[in-house]
Amino acid sequence: MKAKTTAGSGNPPPAFQIHVRVYWEDTDAGGIVFYANYLRFMERARTEWLRSLGHGQEAARQSGGGMFVVSETQVRYLRPARLDDWLTVTVRVVEAGKASMVFDQKVLRGDEVLTEGQIRIGWVQPGPDGFRPGRIPADMLAALTGDPARDHN
């Protein structure tokens, strides 16, 4: 995943974070968080970021405006999280194109990085034969990259 376009070059890139509690549902018989569930935590952070910028995904989906889809995930599981842990999940844009974006995300317990991932997402919109790839709506792209000029694209 090489960045075609670096978001916010020259400026610190926009970033966001949420907190997540680990519950029984997140763990497995190894006594730790089941690795696939970190993808859930990371998606919660992206979703809350969008929401904080005024973009609810259900409204867009129900109005037929399309939705984000995840096209690639690359995750390294460094240290395990456990039941009751209070985690921080960060998200930062590392690539922003018209058809896809890449986010750098980390899951931390205090200062300790437990998991880090790069998540590529695209956009699909309803077509005659189901959903098909399309351009990310300009206002969402602008909001996530912190580039106000893009609002007018």
Q: Does 40 bind its own copies (CB under 8 A)?
A: yes
Which one of 44, 109, 135, 150 is in contact with its own copies (CB under 8 A)? 44
Nearer to its own copies among residue 56 and residue 110 (C-beta): 56
Which one of 15, 53, 70, 113 is in contact with its own copies (CB under 8 A)? 70
Which one of 8, 13, 71, 97 is in contact with its own copies (CB under 8 A)? 71
Residues 130-149 that bind its own copies (CB under 8 A): 131
Tell me which DSSP letter residue 129 carries: T
Q: Does 36 bind its own copies (CB under 8 A)?
A: yes
H helices within 29-137, ranges in order? Answer: 37-52, 57-62
Q: Does 76 bind its own copies (CB under 8 A)?
A: yes
Nearer to its own copies among residue 58 and residue 111 (C-beta): 58
Q: Does 53 bind its own copies (CB under 8 A)?
A: no
Sign of CA dihedral 23, 26, 28, 30: negative
| Residue 51 CB partners (closer than 8 Å, separation 6+) | none
d(CA 96, CA 88): 24
Decide: 27 and 19 in contact? Cβ < 8 Å: no
Which one of 3, 83, 99, 138 is in contact with its own copies (CB under 8 A)? 83
Q: Does 95 bind its own copies (CB under 8 A)?
A: no
| Residue 136 CB partners (closer than 8 Å, separation 6+) | 68, 98, 99, 100, 101, 122, 123
Please identify every residue annotated as catalytic: 28
Kindly state the smallest distance separating residue 18's Cβ from its own copies, in Å.
10
Q: Does 23 bind its own copies (CB under 8 A)?
A: yes
Rounded (to 5) percent helix, strand, coil in the chain: 25, 40, 35
